[in-house]
Amino acid sequence: MSSPIPQTYEQWRHCITVECRIPLTPAYVARRLAAWRDPKSEETMRFRRLYGDAHWQDVLGWFERAERELDATESPESG
């Protein structure tokens, strides 16, 4: 990865799960989504100041994608 800040979902997922060793469990993803979806939370405002709105939206979207992937693996559609 040329940038220390992930630019794609795959880079972000690798960063979270491999480099940071944080499993993307349903509970973890739900907690992070609750934080990122609250634009008035101190954490979200600080992140937006540091990394900008575009990257905040990227990270929010990546957590939403992780949530969809978790949902798909937990309850696969039948045939």
30-55 exposure pattern, b = at least 16 Cβ within 10 A, e = fewer: eebeeebeeeeeeebeebbeeeeeee
**pLDDT over 70 (residue 77):** no
C-beta separation of 36 from 12 below 8 A:
no
Q: Which amino acid is at 29?
A: V
Q: Which domain holds residue 53?
A: 25-74
**pTM for the full model?**
0.86
Q: Is the pLDDT of residue 75 over 70?
A: no
Task: Say if 16 falls within a structural domain.
Answer: no
Residue 79 has pLDDT above 50, yes or no: no
Structural domain total, the chain = 1
Answer whether residue 52 is part of any domain. Answer: yes
Contact (Cβ atoms closer than 8 angstroms) between residue 41 and residue 49: no
Flag whether 1 is in a domain. Answer: no
